[in-house]
């Protein structure tokens, strides 16, 4: 039987980020992954990293690697029928100022984060091992049983077990963690295209067509991801030839790129059913991070960002407690659960509500019309979209009064598509010391 401080199941971005930060604090970490290929990556992902994840990327020391891999920094331009709006950081204060989101394909990101983890002191990589059951001490999870590709089994005891194994988390299922499912009434198709520039340069564009959604995300290697998220009642229109249907959507977009099938560099990928999943982030001896804790509709592109953020929150709470006994560890896990709920639950509810595919609510109409005419309202809306603040926090600082005032001024003109210089990536900070579903593919 092997003894570790932490057993992390899943070596994608959430698991590897947590392993790295815990290892830097002196923990002995078993990083367990069923894939044996160190370059494995998640293909069904729109690859966006929200701005709120950038401080974690800086802390891990990944920003320079993302830049070297060709990753593109940028803040989204959003279009509704009321006009364009985006975030402007000219007058913003830290941590908002100067921190953009990132666009880098998972093909580049996943191996990068995994390599960082496996070369961190204290982290033992166990690629090619599948967890088959959990070990328990009474009601408390105290380890895992893992089977290698050759059939050998290992019992791994740990002070804490972390499920970082995605939306269909086997760890959560083995632990009996209840999953709350909310239907997503949209489907998604996307593909990567070469030589498909956006009028916003490296800044992504999002079109909220009420209820259809489309977006274009520039990324590494000169590629641009083009995607459509459409209510399921129109599925038959897309299933036979999704790319042609996507082409028709993009042909009607304001200031949009041309979707040219001749420039496609990937398969057309998609999923017809991506429900919203919510689980309690902890149990006795157990924590869930990333999609294992909360898996959302891919439309807002929060999966990667929430993976990094939840991994950081867990390591902050759990790392110091690993020097103590099981009671201290479980107290740290409880603190992590509170932090996770406070930071992400309202975002999850808002995303789940919007995934029902309905038309804009009266409040959203007011918000989008106001944001298209007033930069202060645009900033507040984009702080929520970038996951810097919760939906409730958006209406602090007199925002609701300003929203009503702007909408009452009928003569205010839309700001339009404002060109601005792409933010320069901030230098990587030396923060090591502070760390004491289904895929449908068509050619």
* Alpha-carbon distances of 263 from 104, 192, 289, 411, rounded to whole Å: 19, 9, 37, 43
CB of 40 within 8 A of CB of 16? Answer: no
Average pLDDT of the chain is 91
> Per-residue confidence at 437, pLDDT binned at 50, 70, 90?
very low
The helix/strand/coil state of 375 is helix
Residue 432 predicted with pLDDT over 60: no
User: What is the reported pLDDT for 422?
Assistant: 45
Q: What residues contact 380, with CB distance under 8 A and at least 6 apart?
A: 371, 389, 394, 397, 399
Residue 430 predicted with pLDDT over 60: no
CB of 131 within 8 A of CB of 145? Answer: yes
| C-alpha closest to that of 110 among 53, 162, 69 | 69
The predicted model gives 35-46 an average pLDDT of 93
- Return the percentage of the chain with pLDDT > 70, whole number: 92
Residue 48 predicted with pLDDT over 60: yes
> Per-residue confidence at 304, pLDDT binned at 50, 70, 90?
very high
The predicted model gives 336-349 an average pLDDT of 96
| C-alpha closest to that of 355 among 289, 430, 442, 297 | 297
* Alpha-carbon distances of 296 from 146, 162, 212, 217, 260, rounded to whole Å: 28, 20, 17, 19, 30
Which letter does DSSP use for residue 252 in this model?
Answer: T
- Which two tokens mark 262? 């001749």
Phi, psi of 363 (to 5 degrees): -65, -40
User: What is the reported pLDDT for 286?
Assistant: 98
The pLDDT tens digits of the residues spanning 167-213 come to 999 999 999 999 999 999 999 999 999 999 999 999 999 999 999 99
The pLDDT tens digits of the residues spanning 283-297 come to 999 999 999 999 999
Q: Taking each helix axis as running N to C, give the angle between helix 303-321 and helix 13-24, from 0 to 180 degrees, rounded to the nearest 10.
A: 30
Backbone Cα Rg of the chain: 22
The predicted model gives 331-338 an average pLDDT of 98
- Return the percentage of the chain with pLDDT > 90, whole number: 85
Burial class (CB in 10 A: 0-12, 13-18, 19+), 411: exposed
d(CA 277, CA 106): 22
User: What is the reported pLDDT for 189?
Assistant: 97
The pLDDT tens digits of the residues spanning 106-159 come to 999 999 999 999 999 999 999 999 999 999 999 999 999 999 999 999 999 999
> Per-residue confidence at 396, pLDDT binned at 50, 70, 90?
confident
Which of 44-48, 113-117, 357-361 has the largest mean confidence?
Answer: 113-117
The predicted model gives 231-241 an average pLDDT of 95
> Per-residue confidence at 89, pLDDT binned at 50, 70, 90?
low
Q: Taking each helix axis as running N to C, give the angle between helix 375-385 and helix 362-371, from 0 to 180 degrees, rounded to the nearest 10.
A: 120
> Per-residue confidence at 87, pLDDT binned at 50, 70, 90?
confident
User: What is the reported pLDDT for 441?
Assistant: 37
- Which two tokens mark 9? 């199941």
d(CA 371, CA 378): 4
- Which two tokens mark 325? 């006994």
């Amino acid at each position: 039987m092997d003894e570790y401080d932490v057993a992390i199941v899943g070596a994608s971005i959430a698991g590897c980020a947590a392993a790295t930060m815990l290892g830097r604090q002196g923990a002995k970490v078993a990083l367990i992954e069923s894939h044996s290929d160190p370059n494995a990556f998640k293909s069904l992902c729109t690859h966006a990293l929200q701005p709120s994840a950038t401080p974690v990327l800086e802390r891990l020391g990944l920003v320079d690697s993302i830049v070297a891999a060709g990753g593109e920094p940028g803040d989204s331009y959003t279009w509704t029928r009321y006009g364009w709006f985006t975030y402007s950081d000219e007058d913003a204060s830290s941590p908002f100022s100067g921190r953009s989101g990132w666009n880098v394909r998972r093909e580049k990101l996943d191996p990068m984060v995994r390599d960082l983890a496996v070369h961190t002191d204290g982290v033992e990589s166990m690629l090619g091992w599948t967890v088959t059951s959990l070990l328990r001490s009474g009601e408390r999870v105290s380890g895992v049983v893992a089977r290698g590709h050759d059939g050998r089994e290992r019992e791994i005891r740990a002070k804490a077990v972390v499920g970082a194994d995605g939306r269909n988390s086997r760890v959560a299922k083995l632990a009996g963690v209840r999953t709350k499912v909310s239907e997503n009434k949209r489907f998604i198709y996307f593909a990567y295209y070469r030589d498909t520039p956006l009028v916003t340069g490296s800044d992504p564009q999002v079109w909220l067509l009420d209820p259809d959604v489309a977006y274009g995300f520039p990324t590494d290697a000169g590629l641009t991801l083009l995607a459509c998220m459409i209510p399921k009642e129109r599925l038959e229109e897309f299933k036979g030839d999704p790319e042609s249907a996507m082409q028709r959507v993009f042909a009607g977009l304001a200031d949009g790129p041309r979707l040219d099938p001749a420039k496609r560099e990937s398969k057309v990928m998609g999923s017809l059913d991506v429900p919203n999943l919510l689980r309690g982030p902890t149990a006795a001896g157990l924590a869930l991070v990333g999609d294992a804790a909360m898996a959302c509709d891919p439309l807002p592109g929060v999966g990667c960002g929430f993976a990094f953020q939840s991994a950081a929150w867990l390591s902050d709470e759990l790392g110091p407690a690993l020097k103590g006994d099981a009671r201290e560890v479980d107290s740290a896990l409880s603190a992590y659960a509170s932090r996770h709920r406070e930071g992400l639950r309202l975002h999850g509810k808002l995303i789940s509500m919007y995934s029902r595919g309905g038309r804009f609510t009266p409040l959203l109409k007011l918000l989008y019309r106001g944001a298209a005419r007033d930069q202060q309202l645009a900033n507040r809306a984009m702080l929520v979209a970038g996951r810097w603040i919760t939906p409730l926090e958006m209406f602090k600082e007199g925002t609701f009064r300003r929203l009503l005032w702007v909408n009452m001024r009928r003569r205010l003109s839309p700001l339009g598509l404002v060109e601005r210089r792409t933010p320069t990536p901030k230098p990587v900070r030396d923060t090591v010391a502070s760390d004491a579903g289904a895929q449908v593919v068509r050619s």
